[in-house]
């Protein structure tokens, strides 16, 4: 029957498509496909329209939500039927029906009316499941092992519970979290495929639980639950000097299983003092240091019902049974992604056996090999080889990155760690006497399961490798929180790094939920006076806060997410945090000048080794603070405008004027020279509109002069770099921006590429031309901050952007700006509306541009032309085409507006 319905649906869609009818698909609830664990009262619903004609718009929609997919299609038992709503909104439409119940599954579908008033069919049915909404829904208690734990090596405890499911099971949902990390099993099978759960948040106020549909893992009769814990971020080593137990010394488990029987009754199995505990094969597990597994200590079948657990200890109820900090999981969990095989196994000059996986990645190596009982195999991880080709770990500082596996010796054994991850390209194998081959090892990349959204490529292979490196920098460092680096004893949510890269990140992947979750931690860890920590979650301390360009993540990231995804609710939720940060600065300022306190400044700016004549590009730190004060205030005004907070708009607009006036007085000479004659100084002043209009052109020229004085090299650090090319292209120096982008010698984006990098480096000169390294105390080879150029590559080279007053690509800008030696560039972006494409090439004096615009959006297209030349679309002048609205055609550029569809433009250039 089900098959028949599916066939009919496919058939119907096929015919609807052929007839040119508009269709609805790609349903999202809270930006995810069929999510479980929703704890907002009005989930946001989105859908996409499609059809095979141009200019499709939605004129109305109808949503229906029910408690079973069957009754939904009959329109019965609905909890909400929106009726026909005349509106073009197809993204983030709030649920508006009856109150939603804890743990319940809801089924929904939508149909639309297009711009011709034609109704689509109903979309396929999608679903979501609510989380536990009331504190009283939690029946489970926090439990800890019942035996005395070794507090030095801290082996992973196992928890076990058996129970009888007396009746036929209809469905079952597990709600699990831990103080530490957990991995759960039911009847021997892994629950879900999320890794490193429950993820990292500001645990004291926000601890995520995960929710799993485990109906298929349970059976009528005897069942068993087994859970392993690791110390994770909760109790593990974090930050420097081997400090640990940042949130508490005792790991603990919270587990609740809600079973629905077919007779309509419900049973709850939850963690309490009836559980049992023991230890197993994981002897040691630390995020920085790696894991030790002794397979001889494995308790075979320990999560099966038939296992004999009479030697196990009981458990103790945790002294801290707090559940008020529990929240559902907002972001996509960390999952296993690309596998890699060693491309080479070799012996280094120092005589060590090393594997090269060909890519600097973050994850772990799975080993499948045979050994003798008690023998071991040890894997150590490194990012680079040194000048002589030897395995190099100094830049890891105290992080050991070492996994040790001890064989039980009964045939081929499979090992991989559970509660750790490594940043590496090279793996050194020791302690193993047998032969090894690539077949024995598979490296897996682990990262948050954010859907991929953007692709960029062009005619220059080095730039393509740069894009690859940016993408891999993001994969490796978007591991539940945006981290600075994934390998040394750090791996923290550094705020500057995150804000600098956030817009690029939103091109490459759908990071809406990823950042929505992190921003709540930013707000949670914000000090009462509004100051924002250097790292979030904050594990540094209450005074490590308030640095310009770092703390501004509180305003910059919400605004960037709003531009990319147009989720007004996020802006609304972050608004108090944004405002508190601006108010903090205001409190620190005197006469509207923020010139006090500690600041990192333009971190890792160009600093030549032989800086005898003062060539280091040092930018006055307080000039920087003032620029960020203005920027954050501007973003607060923007947010206030969107949210209709008119009093705030007026107040902060007046403040902004004073901030800029104070800047002019303190840091700018009457002729417009800045007190720091650095690229970063000019970049920030210009990007944040600190200078009056009449001084901008000359300031941009000074920037260009400065670039030339360094022989066409950049000198910017973390704060100047993201805006450098934007400022140049905005003020008429596109050529200089391209020159910097295509520069191959150090300092530049392509220098690391030429040196064989597969990720973005922390420093412009992480490895010198003679292959020696920068100072090992700060030399990561996987740090995404300088990858912020990716935003310019998408927004300027391929020209894909959103209008700020119609964000989330509701009104698209396509403004490709060819330059440098590029002859071709192509970008695609999956938005909530569908795919945008901008792909251009220069061929025989022709500029050819292929554009794709998703339904229910419009795009303004800018095409460069020669001497006012005309633009053709598929062989016809655009001025003659009905479905293209020509807005302007001047000497250098033609400008027109289009609706959805595919377009092929050509013009002489
Ligand atoms: C981190 C950075 C961070 C910086 C601030 C470093 O240790 O790796 O990326 O922004 O500290 O000082």
Show the beta-strand stretches assigned E in 777-833: 800-802, 811-814, 824-831
- Stretches in the chain below the pLDDT threshold 70: 1-20
Q: Let me know: does 382 contact 779? Beta carbons within 8 Å.
A: no
- Check residue 808 and give left, alpha or beta (phi > 0: left; psi -120 to 50: alpha): left
Residue whose Cα lies nearest atom 8 of ligand 1: it is 484
Q: Counting atoms of ligand 1 from 1, which one is nearest the CA of 550?
A: 10
Torsion angles phi and psi, residue 808, rounded to 5: 70, 20
Give the pLDDT confidence score for residue 20 in this predicted structure.
65
From the list 254, 258, 299, the residue with the least C-alpha distance to 104 is 258
Cα(535) to centroid(ligand 1), Å:
9
Pocket test of ligand 1: the residue of 546, 603, 762, 788 to mutate, having most ligand atoms within 8 Å of its CB, is 603
Protein residue with its CA nearest to atom 7 in ligand 1 = 778
* Tokens encoding 306: 């038939």
All structural domains of the chain: 2-129 (2.60.40.10), 135-282+299-331 (2.60.120.260), 335-448 (2.60.120.260), 454-796 (1.50.10.10), 799-908 (2.60.420.10)
Ligand 1 centre from 494 Cα, in Å?
Answer: 6
pLDDT (0 to 100) of residue 613: 77
CA distance 445 to 364: 7
CA-nearest of 65, 323, 75, 12 to 175 is: 323
CA 600 to ligand 1: nearest atom: 12
Q: How far is the CA of 486 from the centre of ligand 1 (A)?
A: 12
Assigned token pair, 48? 């996409």
- pLDDT for 242 equals 76
DSSP 11-56: HHHHHHHHTT--EEEEEEETTBSS-EEE--SS-EEEEEEE-SSSS-
What does the DSSP assignment read for 121-155?
A: PPPPPEEEEE---SGGG-----EEESS---TTT-P
Task: Give residue 249's Cα distance to chain centre.
Answer: 29
Q: How far is the CA of 778 from the centre of ligand 1 (A)?
A: 8
Closest CA to 207 of 253, 152, 161: 253
**897 labelled catalytic:** no
Residues 738 and 693 sit within 8 Å (Cβ to Cβ): no
Q: Which residues approach ligand 1 with their CB closer than 6 A?
A: 484-485, 490, 494, 496-497, 600, 603, 783
**Atom in ligand 1 nearest the alpha carbon of residue 495:** 10
Residue nearest to atom 1 of ligand 1 (CA): 484
Classify the C-alpha dihedral 458-464-470-475 as positive or negative. positive
352 as an active site residue: the answer is no
How much is the pLDDT for 122? 96
Site to substitute for ligand 1 among 494, 532, 760, 788, most atoms within 8 A of C-beta: 494
């Amino acid at each position: 029957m089900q098959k028949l319905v599916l066939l009919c649906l496919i058939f119907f869609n096929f015919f609807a498509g052929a007839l040119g009818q508009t269709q609805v698909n790609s349903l999202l609830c809270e930006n995810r496909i069929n999510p479980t664990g929703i704890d907002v009262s009005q989930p946001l619903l989105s859908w996409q329209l499609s059809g095979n004609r141009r200019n499709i718009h939605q004129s109305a929609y109808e949503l229906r939500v029910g408690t079973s997919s069957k009754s939904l299609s009959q329109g019965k038992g609905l909890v909400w039927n929106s009726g026909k709503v005349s509106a073009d909104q197809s993204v983030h439409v709030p649920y508006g029906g009856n109150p939603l119940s804890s743990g319940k599954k809801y089924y929904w579908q939508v149909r639309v009316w297009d711009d011709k008033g034609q109704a689509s069919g109903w979309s396929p049915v999608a679903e979501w499941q609510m989380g536990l909404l009331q504190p009283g829904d939690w029946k489970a208690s926090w439990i800890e092992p019942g035996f005395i734990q070794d507090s030095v090596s801290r082996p992973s405890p196992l928890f076990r519970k058996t129970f009888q499911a007396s009746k036929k099971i209809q469905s079952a949902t597990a709600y699990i979290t831990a103080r530490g990390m957990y991995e759960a099993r039911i009847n021997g099978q892994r629950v879900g495929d999320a890794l490193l759960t429950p993820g990292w948040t500001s645990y004291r106020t926000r601890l995520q639980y995960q929710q799993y549909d485990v109906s298929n893992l349970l059976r009528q009769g005897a069942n068993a639950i087994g859970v392993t814990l690791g110390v994770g971020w909760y109790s593990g080593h974090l930050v420097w000097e081997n400090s640990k137990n940042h949130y508490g010394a005792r790991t603990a488990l919270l587990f609740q299983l809600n079973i629905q029987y077919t007779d309509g009754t419900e049973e709850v199995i939850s963690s309490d003092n009836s559980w049992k505990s023991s230890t197993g094969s994981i002897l040691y597990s630390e995020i920085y240091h790696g894991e030790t597994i002794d397979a001889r200590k494995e308790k075979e079948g320990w999560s099966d019902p038939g296992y004999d657990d009479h030697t196990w200890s009981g458990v103790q109820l945790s002294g801290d049974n707090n559940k008020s900090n529990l929240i559902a999981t907002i972001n996509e969990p960390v999952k296993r992604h690309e596998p890699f095989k060693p491309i080479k196994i070799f012996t280094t000059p120092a005589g060590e056996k090393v594997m090269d996986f060909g890519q600097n990645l973050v994850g772990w190596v799975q080993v499948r090999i045979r050994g003798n009982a008690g023998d071991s195999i040890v894997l150590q991880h490194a990012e680079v080889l040194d000048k002589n080709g030897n395995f190099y770990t100094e830049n890891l500082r105290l992080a050991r990155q070492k996994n040790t596996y001890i064989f039980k010796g009964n045939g081929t054994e499979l090992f991989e760690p559970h509660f750790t991850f490594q940043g590496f390209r090279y793996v050194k194998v020791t302690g193993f006497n047998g032969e090894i081959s690539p077949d024995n090892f598979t490296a897996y990349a682990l990262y948050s399961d954010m859907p991929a959204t953007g692709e960029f490529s062009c005619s220059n292979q080095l730039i393509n490798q740069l894009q690859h490196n940016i993408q891999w920098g993001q994969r490796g460092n978007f591991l539940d929180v945006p981290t600075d680096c994934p390998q040394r004893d750090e791996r923290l949510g550094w705020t500057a790094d995150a804000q600098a890269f956030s817009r690029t990140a939103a091109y490459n992947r759908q990071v809406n939920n990823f950042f929505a979750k992190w921003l709540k931690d930013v707000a949670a860890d914000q000090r009462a006076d509004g100051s924002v920590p250097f790292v979030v979650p904050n594990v540094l301390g209450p005074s490590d806060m308030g640095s310009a360009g770092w703390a501004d993540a509180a305003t910059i990231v919400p605004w960037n997410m709003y531009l990319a995804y147009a989720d007004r609710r996020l802006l609304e939720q972050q608004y108090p945090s944004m405002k508190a940060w601006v108010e903090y600065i205001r409190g620190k300022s005197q006469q509207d000048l923020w010139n006090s306190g500690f600041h990192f400044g333009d971190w890792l700016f160009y600093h030549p080794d032989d800086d005898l004549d003062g060539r280091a590009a040092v930018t006055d730190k307080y000039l920087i603070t003032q620029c960020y004060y203005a920027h954050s205030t501007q973003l607060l005004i923007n947010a206030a405008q969107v949210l209709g907070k008119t009093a705030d708009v007026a107040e902060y607009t007046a403040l902004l004027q004073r901030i800029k006036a104070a800047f002019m007085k303190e840091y700018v000479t009457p002729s417009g020279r800045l007190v720091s004659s650095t690229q970063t100084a000019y970049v920030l002043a210009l990007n944040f509109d600190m200078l009056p209009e009449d001084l901008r052109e000359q300031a941009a020229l000074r920037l260009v002069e400065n670039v030339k004085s360094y022989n066409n090299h950049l000198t910017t650090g973390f704060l100047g770099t993201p805006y450098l090319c934007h400022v140049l292209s905005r003020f008429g120096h596109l050529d200089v921006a391209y020159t910097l982008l295509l520069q191959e010698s150090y300092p530049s984006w392509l220098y690391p590429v030429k040196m064989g990098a597969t990720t973005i480096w922390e420093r412009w000169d992480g490895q010198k031309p003679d292959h020696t390294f920068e100072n090992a105390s700060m030399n990561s080879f996987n740090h995404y901050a300088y990858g912020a150029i990716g935003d310019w590559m998408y927004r300027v080279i391929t020209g894909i952007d959103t209008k700020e007053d119609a964000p989330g690509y509701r009104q698209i800008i396509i403004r490709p700006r060819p330059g440098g030696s590029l002859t071709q560039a192509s970008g695609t972006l999956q938005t909530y509306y569908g795919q945008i494409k901008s792909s251009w090439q220069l061929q025989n004096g022709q500029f050819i541009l292929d554009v794709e615009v998703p339904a229910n959006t419009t795009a303004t297209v800018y095409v460069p032309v020669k001497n006012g030349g005309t633009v053709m679309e598929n062989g016809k002048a655009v001025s003659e085409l009905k479905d293209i609205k020509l807005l302007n055609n001047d000497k250098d550029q033609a400008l027109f507006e289009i609706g959805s569809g595919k377009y092929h433009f050509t013009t002489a250039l």
